Chains A and B, each alone.
Chain A
Amino acid sequence: MNSPEGVPVAACSATLPLAGLSQLFAEHHRRVLTAAYRITGSMADAEDVAQAVFVRLASADGPVTNAGSYLYRAAINGALDLLRQRKAARIEPLEFAEYVAAAGSGSSPEKEASSRELGELLRVAIGELPQRAAEMFVLRYVEELGNQEIAALMDTSQAVVAVTLFNARSRLKKRLSEFERGKR
């Protein structure tokens, strides 16, 4: 496999300026990619988020405390940023059509498509939430962390998490109902 300039690209993997990055990537890439994918619904976006997250970590001047938690949270934030950008552009992800066409086994294609559409609507609605509320909602309901874990991760109290989640749920329910009414 050669690059356009004719240099064998396989030779590129010879050196590694940041040896730790490779190990961190091996340990955390799955969690980072999955979290970003669940939020964006697009593997291409998840790749961009994962790349940005690891590059940012590699750009840090010194050793980073709790790299796993940082990567995970950064992936969620990066994916939420992409959701917001998508909200502004309102472009349907290309993969969406593919997923609908390739409906999973054990359920009817219509049901599968409807479920994916519902998920897509929720993504749009999450993209409209304030940054912090969106992050808490994703951590609680998509990643299924407890309020205590979220409070520790986001450096706040459980009471703040509970109130923010309650408000976020109310807003999301309202938005989903509006979407439903708009469809009819």
Chain B
Amino acid sequence: MKQDEMHLRNAVQALQADEPEAEQMAASAHRVADRLGIDTVYESTVVAITSCDDVQHLFGAYRAGTLPQARALLIEAHLRDCSGCLRRFKGGSGVVLDWSAPKPRRVIAWHPQTAAWALASAAALLAASLFVYRAFWQVPPGVRAEVQSIDGTAYRISDKGDHQLSPGEMLGEGETLRTSGGGHAVLRLTDGSTVEVNERSVVAVGARGHNMTIALDDGAVIVQAAKRTIGPLVREDSRLPGRGHRDRLLSELRNQGVSRVAVLARNAVDVLHAGI
């Protein structure tokens, strides 16, 4: 065994063997019980208060209110007479410990009123969570857009394959519309917005809660957004379609009397206001 290991073992054994003698233990128990004001089971004599030190030892029990009335009166009387003890009493806990033990844990008692409040809070939290989920994250069932008109040809691309679209057909979640060269299509989204799809464009419509998302893979679209009550109209992006294309769109919009639209091109979005 290594030397340091042996030292530690011997030291631990010395500590374990260090037991107070029975008489010493009994005397200490009496003293502590007396300071606590406990009516011990022993036939002991109560330790007399003979000095300021004795008084100061009783401060803890005096504060905790465990001292018998007569003894508490003695402390009060002494505190009136002795400024040193009074200073000590007011100055601190009177206990020399810098306490680091955890505080005693109390038994948690459930009162009907507390339980009712807890249930009400939980229900309110649940309702708020449900509202936020339905407003922003839930994928609503049903169609996303209806094809209003098609000039040229447009296809629906889905997991089931390609299908040539005609006016009146529906687009669902995850389905993509692709227009051919020279083809144009107008979609009406379920929230009332209108999307005009340019030739050689690939666009899909999705929904999360009350929000509709237009994903543009290629080409260009003009979105005439329906009025919204919450949230931004569209997220703006610094990447804009070409200057000439943008000016042409604005000119067309002014002629049509449209007040506000979103223009998307290759995932870039810009909100344009007529008159700017």
A-contact 0/1 string along B55-92, CB 8 Å cutoff = 00100110111111111011001100000000000000
Contact status A2-B66, CB under 8 Å: no
B100 touches which one: A18, A26, A81, A176 (CB < 8 A)? A81
Chain A contacts for B98, CB-based, 8 A? 81, 84-85
Confirm or deny: B177 has a beta carbon within 8 angstroms of a beta carbon on chain A. no
Confirm or deny: B206 has a beta carbon within 8 angstroms of a beta carbon on chain A. no
Number of chain A residues close to chain B: CB under 8 A: 80
- Closest approach, in angstroms, between the C-beta of A40 and any C-beta of chain B? 10
Central interface residue in B14, B17, B95, B101, by most chain A CB within 10 Å: B101
Q: What are 14 A-B interface contacts by the 8 Å CB criterion?
A: A16-B68, A51-B57, A57-B104, A58-B64, A65-B106, A65-B107, A73-B101, A78-B99, A118-B7, A121-B11, A122-B8, A172-B11, A176-B4, A176-B8
B48 touches which one: A3, A66, A85 (CB < 8 A)? A3
Contact status A48-B69, CB under 8 Å: no
Contact status B16-A142, CB under 8 Å: yes
Chain A contacts for B39, CB-based, 8 A? 13-14, 16, 22
Confirm or deny: B116 has a beta carbon within 8 angstroms of a beta carbon on chain A. no
- Closest approach, in angstroms, between the C-beta of B35 and any C-beta of chain A? 5
B-contact 0/1 string along A23-67, CB 8 Å cutoff = 001100110011001110101001111111111111111111111
Contact status B63-A55, CB under 8 Å: yes
Contact status B104-A176, CB under 8 Å: no
Residues on A facing B (Cβ under 8 Å) = 1-5, 7, 9-18, 21-22, 25-26, 29-30, 33-34, 37-39, 41, 43, 46-67, 70, 73-74, 76-78, 80-82, 84-85, 115-116, 118-119, 121-123, 131, 141-142, 144, 169, 172-174, 176-177, 180
Contact status B68-A52, CB under 8 Å: no
**Which residue of chain B lies nearest to A172 when distances are taken between CB atoms in the complex?**
B8
A175 to B59, CA, bound (A): 38
A38 to B96, CA, bound (A): 18
Number of chain B residues close to chain A: CB under 8 A: 66
A2 touches which one: B16, B32, B48, B60 (CB < 8 A)? B48
Chain B contacts for A118, CB-based, 8 A? 7, 10-11, 14
Contact status A12-B68, CB under 8 Å: yes
Q: A12-B71, A119-B15 are in contact. Are A177 and B7 (CB under 8 A)?
A: yes
- Closest approach, in angstroms, between the C-beta of B69 and any C-beta of chain A? 6
Chain A contacts for B200, CB-based, 8 A? none
Q: A64-B107, A78-B97 are in contact. Are A17 and B65 (CB under 8 A)?
A: yes
Quick one: which of B1-57 are within 8 Å of A by CB? 3-5, 7-8, 10-20, 24-25, 28-29, 31-33, 35-41, 45-50, 57
A10 to B40, CA, bound (A): 12
Confirm or deny: B109 has a beta carbon within 8 angstroms of a beta carbon on chain A. yes
B74 touches which one: A7, A57, A61 (CB < 8 A)? A7
A116 to B19, CA, bound (A): 12
Confirm or deny: B160 has a beta carbon within 8 angstroms of a beta carbon on chain A. no
A176 to B5, CA, bound (A): 10
Q: A18-B66, A81-B99, A81-B100 are in contact. Are A25 and B74 (CB under 8 A)?
A: no
Chain A contacts for B29, CB-based, 8 A? 29-30, 33
Chain A contacts for B46, CB-based, 8 A? 1, 9-10, 12-13
Chain B contacts for A49, CB-based, 8 A? 97
Confirm or deny: B248 has a beta carbon within 8 angstroms of a beta carbon on chain A. no
Q: A1-B46, A11-B70, A38-B15 are in contact. Are A52 and B28 (CB under 8 A)?
A: no
B101 touches which one: A9, A21, A78 (CB < 8 A)? A78
Q: A57-B104, A62-B107 are in contact. Are A16 and B15 (CB under 8 A)?
A: no
Chain B contacts for A59, CB-based, 8 A? 63-64
**Which residue of chain B lies nearest to A140 when distances are taken between CB atoms in the complex?**
B12
